[in-house]
Structure 1
Amino acid sequence: MSSDPAELWLRGVAANPAAPSDVLLRLLSEQARTTWTILCEERELPADVVEAVLAHPERAIRRRFARNRHAAAEQRGRLVNDEDALVRSALASGPRPRLGRVEALPDEILEHLLTVQDDDSTGQLLTADEIRQELVVSGQISPAFRRRTLNHPVAELRYQATGLWLWLTPGQRDALLSDPDPAVREAALRQSRLLDPTAMEKELPEESCHHRGLLLTNYAVSHAVAAQCLADRRDLWSLAHNPHTPGDAVTRLARDPDPDVRERVAARADLDPVLLAELAQDPDSRVRTRALLHPLPRTWPERAAIDRIIGHTAGNTGHTAEIIGAVDDMIVEPPTSWYETCAASTNPLLRRVAASCHRLPEELVHRLAGDPEADVRHLLAYNHPLAPPAIVLDAFIATPLQRPYLLTLPRLPRTGLHHLLDHDDPDVRALAAADAGLARPPLHLLADPEPRVRRAAAANPLLPLDVISSLLDDPEHAEGAAANPGLPAERLHGLLDLSGLPRPASEAGRRPGRPAPVPTG
């Protein structure tokens, strides 16, 4: 970290939540380039500053704003027609860092990015197709929008909807196969081969590779392919996972000597009740657990919802909530009623699954908030907008890996944290040091050994103005002090003057210099 006072002041002012627009606008000058990430990507901006950012001639500013997770999707979406492909790519790839669910872009923005073609008259570093690929994996396309593309009036979007083939109903597949647009029909016909065992058999590579694994884990499997895999004891976990594996092969896999294979069979949605009862008596505890966890009848989306919570890798009986974090929506989710049933289960694994659903009704949220299992409470804190603040704070303290995400949640308490001021963990002390509702300023934390704690303490608005002023000249505290919302606007302007940033033309006659002392009364 730089010890140059000017750079520290600029960084602090850029982060200052109370800095008025005329202060923030000065930071858009080239002399403040080092603050652009803080200013344009890492904080919320007033509406007039957003307008200046969107119209700014400097690509780096617009590109950073395109990745701003604090900005509304509608604001970022206005960059959809930016002249620079790198800016459009930043918009398509989504907010950074990605922490939890991403707000979906508006339909009209998605439609444009998914259908726009390259302008051959201008040279671009990225093609429209490359930008599309960024968008597809960004989390900014909602499952609802994907479903709407199935009968969208724009043929290109129906063409892309054929890529959802495995999740479509037979009626939806038939509609695409008979689409009025020949390109859509051809794409649908190609996709239909995914469920054609003969076509898959012809395409299956002999050597082990990603493509072979993809085919055997997800797509139609012929009897001959399944028999060969069983004979060679090859790709058995993939076959056990695949919804399209022939029934006779599933029966053999249920009795395979490898417990990882049997566990995958025990999770299948198409399992015969007799076979399920057999697996429920399996000598391996993981196989028994999975067989008994999910009663029949089952659906494949239910299996997927369980898998994303408890995992299904060798030796794993369930990830901790901290490893899972906030979960993404699936293309096809189980109904909320199924999650409600899980919430009432005596099995803590199913209650963890329920806690991952952000649609649970309020009464069940309160029930799970008092669950005896910490992982249930923590998953609820990560995923539900009605999770009580107390369990969100508990999750922040107990699960360090999820702290960057939890800090983005409005439900995380920012006041009432006096009891955490001397916590052993510096992240927790930093949270408490920023509490503007403390009975007295956290002066002792200005001497904390951790820079982030000192920075949070220096930015606490409870500090007297004369203390803030003195901290501005201390390299250990200058950045935090410049970020303190208790500083008056003119003092912020003075810091920018001292850092060499130009004032607007209307104020050009003012002579830069050290600001007058801050009044203490």
Structure 2
Amino acid sequence: MDEKQYAELDDLSRSADVRDRKKAAQNHHAPAEILERLSHDESDEVKAWVAEHRSTPADILWRLYEENAEFVRWRLARNVTAPAELLMLLSRDEDEGVRWRLIGNRALPKDALAVLATERDSAWATTIREFVAKHRLAPQDTLRLLSNDPCDDVRAAVAGNRATHPSVLDVLARDNKEKVRYQVALHAHTPLPTLVALATDGHSWVRIAVAQHRRTPADVLERLSHDVSENVRAWVGEHRSAPVDVLWRLYEENAEGVRYRLAKNVKAPADLLTLLSHDEDEDVRWNVVNNRALPDEALPALATDQGRRRGQDIRSAVALLDRTPSSVLQTLATDTSWNVRSSVATRRKVDLPSLSVLLHDDDAQIRAAAQSTIETAMTEDIEAFVRESQDVPLDVDLSGFPREVLLQYLY
């Protein structure tokens, strides 16, 4: 803060208008001496903003706390630079508004989380306990306590907390609420026997979570592939550990939702993905073109995709792939869609034959984009293009020709 800015802020802090003084207290760059003066302000609103300010010295925060003004304590509870001891005291504050605001403070100490986990009688009690149950720093004893909470949202939050111990997850897997068991089934650290048991859960959403879990073994996935729920079977179709014979059987079911997820499976056989590239559902074809295991054999069909909603996007995706053959790119360079031709013109891997086509495009923007991309081409690639397109004999050395001369053969 320069002298002029300091002087302006100092004037605001001395103003007779409370709105000016509040504005000074809210300024992120306000120095400690101005904040100290404002901490004695006659307005609790001004002092409250001082209490929340990150640059306010600890001794001033303690003095503001001891004044016992409710509105000031609300703001103190939000201060991420407040001393841990002060935050601990606020976790036991008689005002539930203070305790509720405290849960949003990322500097909240673990001991304060343990205190807030016992919140019971206030209007915000359930919200506060649920927040503690989700907190990444919540102590294990606290999470274990909350795993028996009367509120199912709190128990579900414990089940979804990445820090929750596997032994607690094992208990929650037998909870009478589907939402709790669902979170257990999704948890990365759920014990394998527990995960296997949840595969037979009576609620489909729990079984879906098991089918999604990266550690679900192949034999469990095989069993889930016969599930009565199409959604469960669909998630099996996307799972990397699903056996190949299971994937083929799921494909032969011809269920749209199952094929949709099969097309996303990066471990699916190349011939299965090639079949899916011809699928009647364009969303399935869209998933295939975005699958990093996309086989080369699928590219020609996708490059001519005419889907009403996704066709243009699918062709553009093919144009942007590094491994798309030049012959396919040359076809896409004459596509009716501006977006597809633009994708060919701006793709990362330079393809000179298709760019030479785009240099004659009707659209000036595409011609300019193609020319700009050509400028990034390696000289040896330009020489190879000229040699092939002009039938230059191999015994003719093109390295002596200036780059600018060789580039003329692209036009």
Taking structure 2 as the reference length, what is the TM-score of the superposition?
A: 0.43
Higher RCO (CA 8 Å, separation ≥ 6 residues):
1
TM-score for the superposition, normalised by structure 1: 0.35
